[in-house]
Amino acid sequence: MRNRFLVPLLVAGLCTACPPPRSGVPRESDASQGQDAQGAARSEPNRTLQGAADAAGGPSPLEPRAETRGSDAGAPEPEADAGAEAPSFPTLAATTPASDLRVDGAEVFPSGSAWRWRLPARDPGPSWAANLDAADLDRAGWTSGAAPFRGYAVRPGEHPDAPAGVTPLELPADAVEEAQGPFVWQFARTFDLESPESVVALLAEVSFSGGVVAWLNGDEVFRSNVDPEAGFDDPAVSVETPRWIRATHHGIFHRAFPGLAPVRLRATGNVLAVEVHRSPETDAEPPVYLDLRLSAHRAVGFVKTPYLMDPRADGVTVAWETSIPTAGAVLFGSAGVFDRRTAHPAVCATHHEVRIDGLSPGIAYPYAVELAACAPPWPGAADDEVAAGAVDAGDAAEAGEGSPARGPVLALSGTLRAAPAPGTPFSFLAYGDSRSNPRKHSAVVAAMTSLEETLPAFVINTGDLTRYGDDYDAWNEEFFGPTAPLLADVPIVPVFGNHDSLDESWYEWFALPGNESWYSFRAGDVEVFVLSAYARLNVRSEQTEWLAAALAASDAPWKIVSVHQPLRSCALSRERRHSADSLSDILTPVLAAGGVRLVLSGHDHLSGRSRDHDGFVAVTTGGGGAGLYDVRVTGEDESCAKAYHFCIVDVTLPSLRVRAIDTEGTLLDDFSISREQPPASGDGAPSDAQADDTN
């Protein structure tokens, strides 16, 4: 039985008909303010590949909602009449725990499924997908094959050497080299769906090259990198890769399209039709690619429960994702009363980010996220209907079906805090390589949240948050799910890892300073500088020049750098140590000149600490969930342990204290760095406790 608290959310009025904002570019507006606090729209666009294309080509409708950032700020609410009664504010009693509102989707068909495909010889007309039914796919002109489909430019007499499991599509090599057609391939498949009337939203996860447009039972449901006015055999929109993103993931985009309207679904014979438009670039590789997975949500709620990020001196950002598009607001206050809020925006989206400013240092503000209905309702549905049919609210609670009951839901989430003020002692957490094993990751998070100490100011994840950055489900299962109890109260400071670099999803889920790959922020007496080891990091790169200038401009008493790849490695693997030495050759001169005292890294799945070199200590904290590495014997003032663990860093003006603690509470390492003394003073010894299995 699904949670009864899902029922009050208005399903019939939640919007997928309203067009989302431009992909990656939030709508800007002023925030409402209650007393001295306000929520502000982000001033910088989301730095995605699609966002770069949008900036050049202008807005287009029906773009994927995973590529939108709901700018959840609205106009200030009108001032109350001086003679009116005092407003009534919600209290804790009016809330439901956000964790009780989390929902999962169910797979309709997987990646690698069978499709029909064709290369149309003539224009089939703009309504070809609208008129397509299951019987049409059995007629001549369609070829059967299993995804993924990959195009190969071949010359007469040649045949593509496709790997096993890939369906090859042949293109004339001269047409590709001269940017000539054919540019469009058409794909279609049918599927059945049990109890279609209970589906509240669909989710499509698509891997494609160039651009893609899709229709479900004749209605267009999403498009990406294809102009709305594109005609038959027109190429995709050319996407310019932002300079801080290394590559377009081997020429293949991986996009999630959540919150798709479930209109016209039926139990049998549903038809999903897809066009793939080839890139106009002559060197695009592969020229054609498609694979697609479809899932369905049968309840309304959080796909990602509220999480915090981007801590600053007077505020923090709250983000969440819902199974269907919603409007959202954040309510917060003190003494059990939510007397401050951000206004409902005009944005209707599944992913929301709300900037909360005006927080006072040292004060914890309980907060709740309000999920509210969008308007208009689902396309083709009356106010009291959900897709094909409405159900009674009480019956829906028992059956787990979407309910048309009206009214917003107030989800109690956690506490908001501004970053510590200068001169204030505080602690923060660090760990990394949380990918691949949600059970191990959850154990590390449980150990962090069980600390009987002051709530940490933030938590640094040193990279590799998931195994595959292009896997939508992996983000939920491997990262956002396990970290939900922590990130509701403690802002995440993510570091870009090599597994994260597989896709631009990174830039969808995190609102970070600067270009969101490398950035810095100040908290109390510390300034943290986050680097990307996978975005052109060399002695003369833009990133290295930025780091040198930012370190020189900083007046923070403590300067800490975090980068995924370690500068010193205690892994048994000689290759790992060589890789660390190579990065150290690039960064050490800059770090030493800039006064950096501590470097936090991951990549090696272990807990390690180097002796002081060039004025700083290098710590590796990569035991967050991925399979552990064997370690070598270390020398004096060094530490190395094969264990799932995290680090806690205590910050005072005179010193930094760093402790590494495993999931059983065992102290692996404990050392301090003094501003007046040489940094390393190894108070603790490496633990010889055996780590858990790596399965």
24 with 239: CB under 8 angstroms? no
* 239 band by pLDDT with thresholds 50, 70 and 90: confident
294-318 average pLDDT score:
96
Q: Are strands 526-530 and 558-562 parallel, antiparallel or unpaired?
A: parallel
Q: Are 199 and 191 in contact (CB under 8 A)?
A: no
What fold characterizes domain 106-297?
Answer: Jelly Rolls (2.60.120)
Strand ranges in 6-85 using DSSP code E only, listed in sequence order: 33-34, 37-40, 70-71
Do 550 and 517 contact (CB within 8 A), yes or no? Answer: no
CA dihedral 468, 251, 462, 439 (to 10 degrees): 0
- What's the pLDDT band for 633 if we cut at 50, 70, 90? confident
Q: What is the pTM of this model?
A: 0.82
Which residue intervals of the chain bear CATH 2.60.120.260?
A: 106-297
What count of Cα atoms within 13 Å lies in the side-chain half-sphere of residue 248? 22
Residue 243: its pLDDT value, please? 62
Contacts of 163 (CB under 8 A, 6+ apart): none
Nearest to 434 by CA among 448, 453, 450, 417: 448
Strand pairing class (349-357; 70-71):
parallel
Percentage of the residues of the chain whose pLDDT score is greater than 90:
53
Long-range contacts: 240-244, Cβ < 8 Å, 24+? 240/52, 240/53, 240/56, 241/49, 241/52, 242/47, 242/49, 242/52, 242/515, 243/536, 243/542, 244/47, 244/515, 244/517, 244/518, 244/532, 244/535, 244/536, 244/542, 244/543
C-alpha distances out from residue 332 to 90, 360, 464, 491, Å: 10, 13, 32, 16
Euclidean distance between CA atoms 29 and 71, whole angstroms: 8
Contact (Cβ atoms closer than 8 angstroms) between residue 663 and residue 447: yes
Give the N- to C-terminal CA distance of the chain in Å, as an integer.
32
Express each pLDDT in 521-548 by its tens digit.
999 999 999 999 888 788 888 899 999 9
108: three-class secondary structure by DSSP: strand
Model pLDDT for residues 90-99, shown as the tens digit of each residue: 888 889 999 9
- Under the banding of pLDDT at 50, 70 and 90, the label for residue 166 is very high
Counting Cβ atoms within 10 Å, is residue 43 exposed (0-12), middle (13-18) or buried (19+)?
Answer: exposed
Distance CA 119, CA 141 (A): 9
Q: What is the pLDDT, as a whole number, of residue 478?
A: 95
Query: Is domain 427-674 classified as CATH 3.30.710.10?
Result: no
User: pLDDT tens digit string along 129-160?
Assistant: 988 888 888 887 899 999 999 999 888 888 88
Tokens describing residue 255: 């996009």
Count of H helices and E strands in the chain? Answer: 9, 35
Does the structural domain 4-12+31-41+69-77+87-97+306-416 have CATH classification 1.10.30? no
| Percentage of the chain modeled with pLDDT above 70 | 78
> Looking at the chain, which residues constitute the CATH 2.60.40 domain(s)?
4-12+31-41+69-77+87-97+306-416
Give the Cα separation of 197 and 202 in Å (integer). 12
pLDDT given for residue 344 in this prediction: 62
Whole-number Cα distances in Å, 106 to 64, 110, 167, 197, 457:
20, 10, 26, 15, 36
